[in-house]
Amino acid sequence: MDLSKSTRNAFKKKYGYDPITISFSTNNAKRRQWNSWRTSQLASYVKQASRSVRQTKKDILLGVFILPPEFTECGQDVGKFKSYIDVVLPMSYYKDWDFTPSWVYGKNSGILYDTQKKAKNTSIIPTFDLPSSTQKDSYKTIFKKTQKNYPKIKCINYFIYGKWKESHFKKIVYYWKLQCNFSYTIKNETEDFMISQRFHFLCYTLSYYCMILNASIIIKESPMHLQRCVQHNGNHKKSTMKIWLFFH
């Protein structure tokens, strides 16, 4: 939660009291006022960013990674900025937060349910950690149930900390087959290498043509900063520009 001096001063100027005095252990009027203000501030930033980059390149695909909507203290309400983005990518790291796999694909609760309820018709791409060997069955269930309960979701996104390695690409290939219900297996090392190289190329093009922006850092910068970045990266005529905003 952001309780920096500048944030506290801005809130105090509007409401007349310091948010540090709010009791965050109970559900009270001041806490709700604080959460509402923070989500509106973040939505305003997304609006500015969207307007700025699209003035430079209209066909940019703008996406936002969000934490689970139930984590209200994060100040992320996709319902307030859905009209300014094309894609929302909910961080579906169920194991990190001690949830069961059903928390991802539940029809009446969970991260996809909550995200869809707020995002409405905005495209959703759930984001996952690369699974461990013990999670094979869990991920297979997640893929199948997600396809069944949320048929509009057509793809998923993987995330890791640090540098991508060859072993990561192979793992993606393996779980990609589970997701797509592929029936064949890799027959030899040559085919294994070819598939892996395709993913190398995919990740290379993504890293080359996509801008990864951390809102917690660039939120202090002018939207013109985004515009210059887009102009610099938009010189590639064959590129498909995408901008993902990380909110932490």
Supply the pLDDT for residue 234: 45
Supply the pLDDT for residue 121: 94
Mean pLDDT in the chain?
Answer: 75
Q: Is the pLDDT of residue 31 over 50?
A: yes
DSSP state of 74: G
Range from 38-52, 120-134, 159-173, 211-225 carrying the lowest mean pLDDT: 211-225
DSSP secondary structure string for all residues of 5-26: HHHHHHHHHHHSS-GGGS-TTS
DSSP state of 114: H
Q: Is the pLDDT of residue 12 over 90?
A: yes
pLDDT class for 90, splitting at 50, 70, 90? Answer: very high
Supply the pLDDT for residue 203: 36
Helix (H, G, I), strand (E, B) or coil at 71: coil
How far is the C-alpha of 2 from the C-alpha of 138, rounded, in Å? 34
- State percent of the chain over pLDDT 90: 42
How far is the C-alpha of 50 from the C-alpha of 166, rounded, in Å? 35
* Bridge partners for 65 per DSSP: 89, 246
How far is the C-alpha of 199 from the C-alpha of 202, rounded, in Å? 5
Range from 42-46, 133-137, 177-181 carrying the lowest mean pLDDT: 177-181
pLDDT, tens digit, 9 for 90 and up, residues 178-204? 555 433 333 333 444 343 333 333 333
Q: Is the pLDDT of residue 43 over 80?
A: yes
Supply the pLDDT for residue 227: 47
Pick the residue with more confidence: 45 or 185? 45
| Both structure tokens of 4 | 């920096």
Range from 70-74, 96-100, 161-165 carrying the lowest mean pLDDT: 161-165
pLDDT class for 177, splitting at 50, 70, 90? Answer: low
| Both structure tokens of 164 | 């991508």
Mean pLDDT computed over 127-156: 86
Supply the pLDDT for residue 179: 58
